[in-house]
A and B are shown apart, each in its own frame.
Chain A
C-alpha cells in the first residue's frame, strides 16, 4: 500500500500501519478511498481520528507511525473508526471527562 491508495483527506503514516489518520473532517456518509477500496464513513470523524485500513482482530496490536499504540478490545472492520470504544493502552488506561468512563481519583 502507498499513499496513492488513500483519499487525500487521509494520511497513511507508515506502510506498517493498520490505521490511517483523518487529515480533514469527514461527515457521516462521506465516501473515501481507504487502502485502495472505497468505504462509506459511518459517523462524522473529526481531524486526527483513526480509520482501520484492514480488518483487525480483537487483541491485535494497532500500529501508527509503524509503532504500537495499544491493543484492540473488539474486532474492527476495515473502514471502522478506531478509538477508545475498541482500542486500549498496553500501559495505563485513558479516561473520559464524565459518565462511566471518568477517572474517580
Chain B
C-alpha cells in the first residue's frame, strides 16, 4: 500500500492530487458556452463549475475563489455573459495572484456564442499543455484533507458505511491529516454529543450555538433534511437520520468549527457549519448533496467520502468522490457505481475495522492518481446557490493556528 503519494505542487505551495482545468460560468446565461467548450475535452480533466444567479452574492464569490484556487486545479477559464453582477475581475485577480493561468471570456465582447466557444477551446488547449509541466511532488498522509458526506441514505448508512468512514477518519487523523464532517442539518439531535467532544469549552459553546441556528433555520423552512427515500429505507425521523450521519465523524476530538471556504489550519477533525447566518433568506440551505460536496471541496478537501444506502451515483467536479455503499442489496444492484461494499458488515462478511482500513487505503490510492468509479463514469456534478455567512468566531479554531 502506498504511504507517500505523488501529486502536483502549486505556485502557492499547496499540493493537489489532480490537475484540473475548471471552466467557470458566472451566470446561467454563460452555462451553455462553458459546457460546449468542455465537450471538446471530454477525455481530459476539464470540469465545468459555475454560479447561475445574476445578482451578486458574497458567499458565491468566496466559494468560486476557493474552488478556482483549489490545490487540484491547475488553471481556470471564466465565462461571463457580460451584464451579470458577479465580480469577475475580482475572481480573476484572486486566481492570477495564486499563480494559476486564468482567462476571462465575456460573450457580449467576443462576438457571441460560436466565437466564444472557439476562443475557449483554444485557451483550454493551451492551458492543458501549460499545466502538464507543473512540478510533481510527494504528498504525505498528514497533508491530506478529506471531506465526508452521506446521501441517498437509508437505515443501513448509519450502521455500516458511516461508522466505517468514521474509522477511516480516525486512521487519517492519527496520521496527522484533516477530516471534515458536515451536514449540520443532519446532525439535529446530536448537539449534546458533539459539544462533549469539542476540544475546548469555548468551541463546545460555538457548536451548540451553531446547532440552535440549524434547528431554527429548518423549522422556518418547515421541512427537515430527510427525504421520502430515506423514509422508505427505514429512517423515520431527522434525529434518527442524524445519529447515523454523525457516525461519519469517528471518535476523534472535534478540533474546530469552520464555514464554507475556510480551510482547516491543522490536522484533526473539523465540523463544517453549512447553515447560513442571520434570518433565513434564500431557501433551503443545501438543495442537494452536490451543494454540500462543493462546500467540502471549497474547504480544501482533496477527496470526498460519500456513503449511500439507497444508491446515489453522483461524483463531483474538482475532487474525486469515493462511494461507500452501506446496503448490501443496493451494492448488488449498483456495483458499477460503488467503490466500497460496506454492506458486507451486515451480512457478516467483514468487520467495521476491516472496511474502515479499506476506505483509508482507498483514500491514499485515489490521492496517488487511481480513479474512483464516479470519476471513470464521467460524473462531474456541481451546484452553487445563494447563501450568506458571518466569519467564524475566535474560539472556533485550535489555538496553535
Interface set of A (CB-CB < 8 Å, partner B): 8, 11, 13, 21-25, 46-50, 64-65, 67-70, 82-84, 87-97, 103
Q: Which residue of A has the minimal Cβ distance to B193? A: A67
In the bound complex, what is the Cα–Cα distance between A24 and B332 (angstroms)? 14
Residues of B bordering A, CB below 8 Å:
154-156, 158-159, 188-189, 193, 215, 218-219, 222-224, 226, 228, 231-240, 243, 309, 327-329, 346-348
Known: A89-B238, A96-B228. 5 other contacts (CB 8 A): A91-B237, A91-B238, A92-B218, A92-B238, A96-B231
A90 to B243, alpha carbons, bound, how many Å?
14
CA distance A25 to B239 in the complex (A): 24
User: CB distance A24 to B346 under 8 Å?
Assistant: yes
The reply to whether A68 and B189 form a contact with Cβ atoms under 8 Å apart is yes
Known: A24-B346, A69-B189. A48 touches B239 (CB 8 A): no
By DSSP majority rule, is chain A's interface helix, strand, loop, or mixed?
A: loop
Considering residues B155, B222, B236, B240, which has the most beta carbons from chain A within 10 angstroms of its beta carbon?
B236
Cβ–Cβ contact B224 & A89, under 8 A:
yes
Give A36 Cβ to nearest chain B Cβ, in Å.
21
Q: With A47-B156, A92-B218, A93-B224 in contact, do A70 and B233 touch (Cβ < 8 Å)?
A: no
A83 to B223, CA, bound (A): 18
Task: Give Cα A67–Cα B219 distance, bound, in whole angstroms.
Answer: 21
Residues of A within 8 A of B218 (CB): 91-92
Chain A nearest CB from B188 CB (Å) reads: 5
Whether B236 and A87, one on each chain, are in contact in the complex, defined by CB atoms closer than 8 angstroms, is: yes
**B156 — nearest CB in chain A belongs to which residue?**
A48
Contacts of B346 in A (CB 8 A): 11, 23-24, 47
| Bound-complex Cα distance A71 to B159 (A) | 21
Which residues of A sit under 8 angstroms from B159, Cβ to Cβ?
A: 11, 13, 21, 23, 48
Which residue of chain B is the closest to A86 with respect to CB atoms? B236
A-B contact pairs, 10 of them (CB 8 A): A22-B234, A24-B347, A50-B234, A50-B236, A69-B236, A84-B236, A91-B224, A92-B223, A94-B231, A96-B231
- What separation, in Å, do the CA atoms of A43 and B347 have in the docked complex? 22
Beyond A11-B159, A21-B159, whether A69 also contacts B234 by CB under 8 A is: no
B residues within 8 A CB of A88?
236-237
Interface centre among A22, A47, A89, A103 (most CB of B within 10 A): A47
Give chain A residues whose Cβ lies under 8 Å from the Cβ of B328.
Answer: 47
CA distance A54 to B271 in the complex (A): 37
Shortest distance from the beta carbon of A63 to any chain B beta carbon, whole Å? 10
| A68-B239 in contact (CB<8A) | yes
Closest Cβ of chain B to A41, distance in Å, is 14
Complex contacts, B232 vs chain A, CB 8 Å = 46
Identity of the chain B residue whose Cβ is nearest the Cβ of A21 in the assembled complex: B155
Contacting residues, chain B, for A23 (C-beta < 8 A): 159, 346-347
CB closest residue in chain B, given A97: B228
Q: Report Cα–Cα, A9/B249, bound state, in Å.
A: 27
CB of A83 within 8 A of CB of B234, answer: yes
Q: Which of chain B's residues have a CB closer than 8 A to the CB of A69?
A: 189, 236-237, 239-240, 243
Contacts of A87 in B (CB 8 A): 236-237
Q: In the bound complex, do residue B236 and residue A94 qualify as a contact, i.e. CB atoms below 8 Å apart?
A: yes
How far, in Å, is B196 (CB) from chain A's closest CB? Answer: 12
How far is A79 from B198 in the complex, measured between Cα atoms in Å? 39
Q: Given A48, A50, A92, A103, which contacts B188 in the complex, CB threshold below 8 Å?
A: A92
Known contacts A48-B234, A94-B231; A67/B224 CB under 8 A: no
In the complex, A13→B247 CA distance in Å? Answer: 13
